[in-house]
Amino acid sequence: MTTLPSFQAITARCNRLEQIIRLQGLIAGERNNPQLSSLVMKEVARVMDADRVTLFLYDTESNELRADYGDGLESGAIVVPLKMGVIGAALSRRRSINIVNAQEHAFFNNITDKGSGYRTDTMLALPIIASNGSVLGGLQLINKFGGRFTQQDENTLAAAARTIAEQSKNGQIDAEIARREISTLQENIGCDRSAVFRLDEKSGHLVSVFASGTTDTISVKIKLGIAGYVALTGEALLVADPYSDARFDASFDRSTGYRTQNILAIPLKTAANEILGVVQVLNKYGGCFAADDVKLLETIAGAIGTALENRNLIRELDRQFHSLLEVMAASLDSRDKLTAGHSLRVAQLAVAIAAALGFTAEDTDILKVAATLHDYGKVGVDDAVLRKNGTLSASEYQHIKTHAETTFDILAKVHFAHKYRSVPLIASSHHEALDGSGYPHGLREHEIPLMSKILSVADVFEALTADRHYRKGMTEAAALAILDAGSGTKFDGRIVQALKQSLAQRDQATT
């Protein structure tokens, strides 16, 4: 006879389902990453009935896990470097790693290359595993002559690893057998260098037993902690007794006085199975995490992974957008080597002024885009006028003034995101003056966008202090004196003062 679940069990399941639905709603509705981390992780801890929770995000550039959220932690307080070398990755994953281009591989650590002047191109690494399943160490081959390592090479290396494991005594690799095996292997396979490593579990390091091409002992740290292991392998991990697990890094417990009793860590992945990070919960109230908890956290991790993937996609598109703007500005600057970099320098000055005025991050971003493109209309100005050494004639001056309207006409055709809809007007109005004497439309003080007033000050200051075909650049003090003289008629005095403040802060930072 089938035993029906109790009323309490059914109620508990319903409550948990309600919590999951609420949590997924939080994840789907939150676009601000710090808010996502804080709100969602606190809810994860509650749903999982856990004492602590940590969200690690994978930094693809530094190849590190960084704690984006953790109870009692500042963002980024814990950093787990995953670049422990190819041999370390092979041991952690318990399988061979065959690399065609080591210099571009995420696991490759080029410290040895830098120190010796050697260049590693191809690599083959494999763990040495004892009959009881424990990891003894690893084998590594470098730079196969005439190409890459093959599947046959992997099979040959695996056979050597088995021989070394079988000949090991009391869990210790026999150095002479290891040296003989790897030397023969290096000759038979045809590669430049080889090495055998033993695992020192106490230190969490791989230490070379034999390494051709050097008399130095090579030591590689591979103790990444549970989160690092999960990020590296892409597999969920439930640890009932962390202090008896060789993968656990107790340094954080030692530094804080906390005692980790059990851990459940789940990888955060994209739809394409790429690692985004790790979510880790510690110390389940009243016991240890179980299989049901693994399934529950995997469900939550899937929703978090989707949200992070969408956020990363938006960030990547934003980076592409800004890099395209810089390319556009650089293509304009390339017409005249003397003024090359003007647009980007104006953008830097404008951003510094915005900081002094207390602009929000979003408004600063809009200003930066407009500053980068403020002179784009000069694509329509004749080279002879643009590069003229002497004073411009009246007709030439009128011709160069057309760049402001041309800037608007070109940028108005660009399909900017909604928040950048004012960029064409801001960029094209940087030659307007408070007294109405500017161009292209003779706007007066209250008609000129604030960001255009900032561009006006930044543009004039950069132009005055830089060399031009017809004069040498003046000192910053002289340029500021001209801006002061024009305050209230040509330039907004508050903005001139903000420029001075930003320059003073720059000077303090460099002394």
Of 166, 197, 221, the residue at which a domain comes to its end is: 221
At residue 423, the pLDDT reads 95
Q: Which residues pair with 219 in a beta bridge?
A: 207
Residue 177: Cβ-neighbour burial (10 angstroms; 0-12, 13-18, 19+): middle
Same domain, 48 and 118: no
Burial 253-288 (b: 16+ CB within 10 A, else e): eeeeeeebbbbbbbbbbeeeeebbbbbbbbbbeeee
How much of the chain exceeds pLDDT 70, in percent? 86
Same domain, 465 and 412: yes
Mean pLDDT across 83-109: 82
Tell whether 2 is covered by a domain.
Answer: no
How would you write 481-502 as a 3-class SS string?
HHHHHHECCCECHHHHHHHHHH
At residue 348, the pLDDT reads 95
Looking up tokens 């602009």, which residue turns up?
359
Task: Give this prediction's pTM.
Answer: 0.59
Same domain, 301 and 403: no
Q: Which residues pair with 280 in a beta bridge?
A: 54, 265
Tell whether 51 is covered by a domain.
Answer: yes
- CA gap 390, 480 in Å, rounded: 24
- CA gap 350, 156 in Å, rounded: 62
Residue range of the domain that includes 106: 86-221
Same domain, 358 and 499: yes
Which CATH number goes with the domain that contains 301? 3.30.450.40
Of 278, 312, 346, the residue at which a domain comes to its end is: 312
- CA gap 350, 256 in Å, rounded: 44
440: preceding bond cis by omega (within 30 degrees) = yes
At residue 222, the pLDDT reads 66
At residue 372, the pLDDT reads 93
At residue 197, the pLDDT reads 82
At residue 488, the pLDDT reads 94
Same domain, 97 and 59: no
Spatial CB neighbours of 476, under 8 Å, sequence gap ≥ 6: 461, 465, 503
Tell whether 6 is covered by a domain.
Answer: no
Long-range contacts formed by 462-465: CB under 8 A, 24+ apart: 462/342, 462/345, 462/346, 462/349, 463/342
Tell whether 320 is covered by a domain.
Answer: no
Element spanning 509, H or E: helix 493-509
- CA gap 489, 87 in Å, rounded: 68
Same domain, 266 and 393: no
pLDDT, greater one: 136 or 432:
432
Least confident of 9-13, 58-62, 458-462, 500-504: 9-13
Least confident of 200-204, 253-257, 314-318, 428-432: 200-204
What is the amino acid identity at position 382?
D
Same domain, 437 and 483: yes
- CA gap 196, 81 in Å, rounded: 23
Same domain, 78 and 90: no
Mean pLDDT across 234-252: 86
Tell whether 317 is covered by a domain.
Answer: no
Same domain, 363 and 421: yes
Cα 249-70-250 angle, rounded to 5 deg: 15
- CA gap 392, 470 in Å, rounded: 10
Same domain, 183 and 245: no
How many residues appear in the chain?
Answer: 511
At residue 8, the pLDDT reads 60
At residue 1, the pLDDT reads 47
At residue 355, the pLDDT reads 96
- CA gap 451, 127 in Å, rounded: 60
Tell whether 505 is covered by a domain.
Answer: yes
Is 94:129 a contact under the CB 8 Å cutoff? yes
pLDDT tens by residue, 340-390: 788 899 999 999 999 999 999 999 999 999 999 999 998 888 888 777 777
Same domain, 381 and 460: yes
pLDDT tens by residue, 279-323: 888 888 888 888 888 888 888 888 778 878 887 888 888 888 888
- CA gap 175, 193 in Å, rounded: 17
- CA gap 209, 142 in Å, rounded: 16
Looking up tokens 């995420």, which residue turns up?
106
Is 426:401 a contact under the CB 8 Å cutoff? no
Mean pLDDT across 168-182: 82
Which CATH number goes with the domain that contains 391? 1.10.3210.10
Tell whether 139 is covered by a domain.
Answer: yes
Of 192, 221, 250, the residue at which a domain comes to its end is: 221
pLDDT tens by residue, 13-64: 555 555 555 555 555 554 455 555 566 677 777 777 777 777 777 777 776 7
At residue 18, the pLDDT reads 54
pLDDT, greater one: 166 or 349:
349
Q: Is the predicted pLDDT of residue 497 greater than 90, yes or no?
A: yes
- Count the domains in the chain: 3
pLDDT tens by residue, 383-434: 887 777 778 888 888 888 999 999 999 999 988 888 999 999 999 999 999 9
Looking up tokens 């403040």, which residue turns up?
501
At residue 63, the pLDDT reads 67
Spatial CB neighbours of 304, under 8 Å, sequence gap ≥ 6: 27, 40, 55, 268, 279
Tell whether 156 is covered by a domain.
Answer: yes
* Rama region for 119: left / alpha / beta (φ>0; ψ in -120 to 50; rest): beta
- CA gap 100, 80 in Å, rounded: 26
Same domain, 236 and 372: no
Mean pLDDT across 440-453: 95
